[in-house]
C-alpha cells in the first residue's frame, strides 16, 4: 500500500497545480475535488503537500478570515506554471507510449 501512496502523490501534486492554475484553491475544497477523481486523501496527507509546493515555490498562499474561520488560499506561481507545462508534455508523451502499445 505504501508503494501505491508514493506513486499517486506525484499525480496529486499535478492535480493541485492544475487547479491552482485555474483559480484559488484551499485544502478542504481540494480534498473533495480529489475524491471526485477517486483519491481518498486525508488532511494529514494533503496539507503537507500544499505546504511543500509552497516551500518549493510552485504555489503561494494568502490567509483570509472567512466567516470567523481562517482559511489559506493557494494560487500558482510562475515557477508552478512552468513545471505544469513541463508535466503536461511528459504526461502526453507517456499516454501516447502507453496507449499505443
Residue 32 lies in domain: 2-99
Task: Give the model confidence (pLDDT) of 50-63 as tens digits.
Answer: 999 999 999 999 99
Q: What is the CATH number of the domain that holds 23?
A: 1.10.10.10
pLDDT at 3: 54
Task: Give the model confidence (pLDDT) of 5-56 as tens digits.
Answer: 777 888 999 999 999 999 999 999 999 999 998 888 999 999 999 999 999 9
Helix axes of 43-55 and 2-22: crossing angle, nearest 10 degrees: 60
Domain tally for the chain?
1
Q: Which ranges of 1-101 does DSSP label H, i.e. alpha helix?
A: 2-22, 27-36, 43-55, 78-99
Amino acid at each position: 500500500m505504501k508503494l501505491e501512496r508514493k506513486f499517486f502523490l506525484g499525480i496529486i501534486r499535478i492535480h493541485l497545480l492544475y487547479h491552482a492554475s485555474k483559480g484559488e484553491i484551499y485544502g478542504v475544497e481540494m480534498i473533495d475535488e480529489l475524491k471526485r477523481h477517486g483519491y481518498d486523501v486525508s488532511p494529514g496527507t494533503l496539507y503537507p503537500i500544499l505546504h511543500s509546493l509552497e516551500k518549493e515555490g510552485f504555489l503561494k498562499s494568502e490567509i483570509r478570515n472567512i466567516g470567523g474561520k481562517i482559511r489559506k488560499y493557494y494560487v500558482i506561481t510562475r515557477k508552478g506554471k512552468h513545471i505544469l507545462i513541463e508535466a503536461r508534455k511528459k504526461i502526453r508523451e507517456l499516454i501516447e507510449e502507453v496507449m499505443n502499445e
